[in-house]
Chains A and B, each alone.
Chain A
Amino acid sequence: MNRFEYIRPATVADAIAALNEPAARALAGGTNLVDLMKYDVAQPSRLVDINRLPLKSIEITPSGALRIGALVTNTDLAWHRDVREKWPILSSAILAGASPQLRNAATAGGNLMQRTRCYYFYDPSTACNKRQPGSGCSAIGGVNRIHAILGASDSCIAVHPSDMCVAMAALDASVEVEGPDGKRSIPMSGFHRLTGGEPERDNTLKGGELITSIIIPKPDFGAHHTYLKIRDRLSYAFALISVAAALRVEEGIIQDVRIALGGVAHKPWRDFDAEKSLKGERVGTQSFTQVADFILRDAKGQGDNDFKIELARRAIVRALEQAAAGTPQDQADKSLY
């Protein structure tokens, strides 16, 4: 681990001032950043320990939305009574990720900022455009079982590893940030980015900006949701494919639908045209298969991960069937229904 300066501000304003240096990084739970520092993938000149900032509350806003402080731990968010009752797909996605120990330390803001688990990104002895822009991509033509099938570029085929962010994408979350130029709100669909042009940039945050909270509108899907995660072992592994699906159905006709995919792209993947095409259709395997084909119309394998296209197709259909039946995936009992 490199040597660095350590600062522990007490206010958001002081934190933003301390972050106003190119190689400064904010430290929250540390579950990804400290790991990356041990591999010399991250070498911050200054760590700004934000753990004392007043960003730890979960609130329901007057409009019934959920406001999540950036420093709320994954555990506190997933088990919060209101979240379990009204935003169950978010709770389920968080509990599908990592381990209890990691969820006790990891924060909501940190989860948004976590970096890809591409093996080459983590290995400084290999070329990686994300770690070292211009050095090349070892995953293209290399070992790429876990890599992207949608939205990849010639410079990077990494995927975003989060489960929480997939549910947040499905729920139309927005990310509240504060920086040297003041506050702004970024819709979840515009927070993470694809790799074209600048693979080193994971998201659209500007220099010195700090995530302060995440806001999620109140959903209207009742029990018609699921978070289905497919991985190489039953627990404590990143998704090969995950699907957050939610439906609102009246008399067998789909009124509203959300489908977000994890493990397929450099950002949680939402296809608004695909969702639109499903509205007004009758629930059932036929319409679900059609929409899965539509979402995957431009899917491209890299060799080792070719199987993920068919896996994604089946996972989308299965998730929509679970949502339609009102039988969300249980994250402890792994049986598929």
Chain B
Amino acid sequence: MNQIPHHPQIPIFLTINGTLHELKVEPWVTLLDLLRERLSLTGTKKGCDQGQCGACTVLVDGKRVNSCLALAVSRDGAEITTIEGLAENGELHSLQVAFIERDAFQCGYCTPGQICSAAGLLAEGHTRSRAEIREHMSGNLCRCGAYTNIADAVEDVLMPRIAAKEAAE
């Protein structure tokens, strides 16, 4: 163990779900722990804490990442969206509605990560088929095995968007 003489507090700015936060964090604090332990945003879940399960998925500057592997200091200045920030003006995000309608969970622990991941998938614009939904959601494990319904829920939201985009072009 290396001896660091003091516990440095590094000042950072993060915009989290639309609110600017001015924070001081030790450099070894992950974005996941910052969200859950400092800011009480416990919707983002700690599963494996090793980048293998996707339960901690959040959007950083609009892109989905594993918050357990991101040191908060290295994301200084970023805009973070968590599951708490997806609904707007009291209206659930269309993915949240689809997950409920499709019963796309059992225990629910992986669900915030699944929904944030699916939100990232929609923004990326690379997914056009059922096989691609499955592949592009493969970073989120569900140990209850709700995969079929999760893929259904994502498909419910994705396909009309593709159709609308094609109609507009």
Decide: B2 and A3 in contact? CB cutoff 8 A.
Answer: yes
Chain B residue at smallest Cβ distance from A333: B131
- For residue B73, which residues in chain A have a CB less than 8 angstroms away from its CB? 6, 8, 49
Q: Which residues of B contact A34 (CB under 8 A)?
A: 30, 69-71
Q: Looking at chain B, what size class is its interface with the partner chain?
A: 35 or more
CA distance A51 to B75 in the complex (A): 9
B140 nearest CB across to chain A (Å)? 8
Partner among B10, B54, B70 whose Cβ is within 8 Å of the Cβ of A99: B54
Contact assessment for A4 and B28 in the assembled complex, using a CB-CB cutoff below 8 Å: yes
Across the interface, do B139 and A49 meet the contact criterion of CB distance under 8 Å? no
Other-chain contact of B69, A49, A105, A331 (Cβ < 8 Å): A105
- CB proximity of B13 to chain A, nearest CB, Å: 14
Among A3-57, those with CB < 8 Å from B are 3-6, 8, 23, 27, 29-31, 34-35, 37-38, 43-45, 47, 49, 51
Contacts of B124 in A (CB 8 A): 75, 100
> Does the CB pair B7–A101 fall under 8 Å?
no
Asked if A235 and B69 make an inter-chain contact with CB atoms under 8 angstroms apart, the answer reads: no
Tell me, rounded to whole Å, the shortest Cβ–Cβ distance linking B102 to chain A. Answer: 21
B1-A102 in contact (CB<8A): no
A289: min CB distance to chain B, Å: 31
Query: Given A4-B4, A30-B69, A35-B50, do A79 and B27 touch, yes or no (CB 8 Å)?
Result: no
Are B54 and A101 in contact, with the CB atoms below 8 A? yes
Taking beta carbons and an 8 Å cutoff, which residues of B are in contact with A? 1-4, 7-8, 10, 27-28, 30, 49-51, 54, 57, 60, 63-66, 69-71, 73-74, 76, 117, 120-121, 124, 126, 129, 131-132, 134-136, 138-140
A: which residues have CB within 8 A of B?
A: 1-6, 8, 23, 27, 29-31, 34-35, 37-38, 43-45, 47, 49, 51, 75, 79, 98-102, 104-105, 235-236, 331-334
